[in-house]
Chain A
């Protein structure tokens, strides 16, 4: 549009905001350079503004005026030009205060909850360690029971009762021995040894040196039983318990206390 708008309604339509695209652009280009038409647009805006009067009458709440007057009495924040922005900043401040009111107690609750959970966690850790130890014990017991069961079930396991030698401490000991499995089980009782002495259990093979199965140090005469590994494939000629210096000896040096039959 190089010339003036040909019809007065063009200004009304522009003031009303209904023009689009090329129509809008054309009148805007012209208005930018034409003072007379700008004046006509000002009149059109006034005319269109009259339509506001046709809105059904509603009165604002008296609180709006009170808030407005309260707001103008407050010092305006420095550097803030837009009232809307003032309102937003104020809303932001209120939000910040609201968040502070919520977050401070929430943080305290979080700290308490964290301490409580930390304590629970530490207790659970201790319980887990204890349970692990207990499981290991139970596993050992289970393994022991399993090994005993295997030993007792095996057809080639020898069960030998050791007989006390005359004049020696008394006792009744049974030994289960399986040379293929290399397992020996001690079950029985024996009088506590003299001071500075130990009983020592031996497997005397058909050939070679006696093999020490272990030291037996009963504090009482109660029945005891234990299982131990011995070298595999050793055929026992005799199984015997000797009285040795405390702690035992590499080879038997003392008298026999209990011995398998036929020795």
Chain B
């Protein structure tokens, strides 16, 4: 996908961010190649609209280009920041809601104990996430998906599924507990 050299392709997010701060377009292109597929998939899963997906995708990377100096890659995970920003914007678009500044600008202190800087790493982690989700009972998985991809609150999920609010809360807690346990980094 990218035309960068092997050294460039293996450059860390932190290095590429520094190059973007120095107005290096090639670094932006490398980061785009690294994360656009993941981000685009998330946006499309939420919006089901190619045009809106591509519009937000471009905007987020353009925001990264303009504000890269504010992003400290040593303190937070870039792909997680992209995912959080992307999800917020897509759900806002879905609900025709204009996010206020406080909602929109999520700080980049999002900790991810995984490295997603290579396609292989992304695929390996994708396998783990899928297995973790598939291990959940169907109703728990559905509740998680409604919360994450549709941006629903507890009571909205209850209205959507027709289940009692308490049941939904318990279901989500159980699901999140399982996910946390299954997605912990493997210790050597």
Task: Enumerate chain A interface residues (CB-CB to B < 8 A).
Answer: 7-9, 12-13, 16-20, 38-39, 42-43, 45-61, 63-65, 67-69, 71-73, 76, 81-84, 86-87
Interface hits, B75-107 → A, CB 8 Å:
76-77, 79-80, 83-84, 86-87, 106
CB distance from B160 to the nearest CB of A (A): 12
- Select B172's contact among A18, A39, A43, A54, beta carbons within 8 Å: A18
Assess the A83–B172 pair: CB atoms within 8 A: no
Assess the A47–B179 pair: CB atoms within 8 A: yes
CB distance from B173 to the nearest CB of A (A): 5
Assess the A53–B80 pair: CB atoms within 8 A: no
- A67 (CB) vs chain B CBs: closest residue: B58
B55-85 interface code vs A (CB 8 A; 1 in, 0 out): 1011101110110000000001101100110
Which residues on B sit within 8 Å (CB–CB) of A47?
A: 179-180, 183
Assess the B153–A49 pair: CB atoms within 8 A: no
- Select B65's contact among A42, A43, A64, A72, beta carbons within 8 Å: A72
- Select A13's contact among B29, B44, B55, B173, beta carbons within 8 Å: B173
Interface hits, B38-65 → A, CB 8 Å:
38-42, 44-45, 50, 53-55, 57-59, 61-63, 65
Q: Does B16 contact A (CB under 8 A)?
A: no
A16/B148 contact (C-beta < 8 A), A58-B40, A72-B65 known: yes
Assess the B152–A49 pair: CB atoms within 8 A: no
Assess the A76–B66 pair: CB atoms within 8 A: yes
Assess the A17–B151 pair: CB atoms within 8 A: yes
Assess the A57–B129 pair: CB atoms within 8 A: no
CB distance from B89 to the nearest CB of A (A): 9
A49/B110 contact (C-beta < 8 A), A54-B133, A83-B63 known: yes
| Size category, B interface | 35 or more
Q: Does B25 contact A (CB under 8 A)?
A: yes
Assess the A9–B112 pair: CB atoms within 8 A: no
- Select B54's contact among A16, A60, A82, beta carbons within 8 Å: A60
CB distance from A105 to the nearest CB of B (A): 30
Q: Interface of chain B, helix or strand or loop or mixed?
A: helix
20 A–B contacts from the bound complex (CB under 8 Å): A16-B147, A17-B153, A18-B152, A50-B112, A50-B114, A50-B125, A52-B38, A52-B41, A52-B86, A52-B87, A54-B126, A58-B44, A60-B37, A60-B40, A60-B54, A64-B40, A64-B54, A68-B28, A71-B62, A87-B59
Which residues on B sit within 8 Å (CB–CB) of A38?
A: 109
Q: Does B113 contact A (CB under 8 A)?
A: yes
Q: Does B36 contact A (CB under 8 A)?
A: yes
CB distance from B184 to the nearest CB of A (A): 9
Assess the B84–A49 pair: CB atoms within 8 A: yes
Assess the A65–B36 pair: CB atoms within 8 A: yes
CB distance from B54 to the nearest CB of A (A): 5
- Select A49's contact among B50, B61, B112, beta carbons within 8 Å: B112
Assess the B83–A49 pair: CB atoms within 8 A: yes
Supplied contacts A16-B172, A53-B122, 19 more A-B pairs, CB within 8 Å: A9-B176, A18-B154, A19-B153, A20-B154, A42-B110, A43-B111, A46-B113, A47-B179, A51-B133, A51-B148, A52-B86, A55-B41, A57-B37, A63-B54, A64-B54, A68-B65, A71-B58, A72-B28, A82-B63
Pick from B25, B61, B176 the residue with the most CB of A within 10 Å.
Answer: B176
- B46 (CB) vs chain A CBs: closest residue: A55
Interface hits, B155-188 → A, CB 8 Å:
155, 157, 172-173, 176-177, 179-180, 183
A83/B29 contact (C-beta < 8 A), A18-B147, A53-B126, A64-B36 known: no
Which residues on B sit within 8 Å (CB–CB) of A72?
A: 25, 28, 62, 65
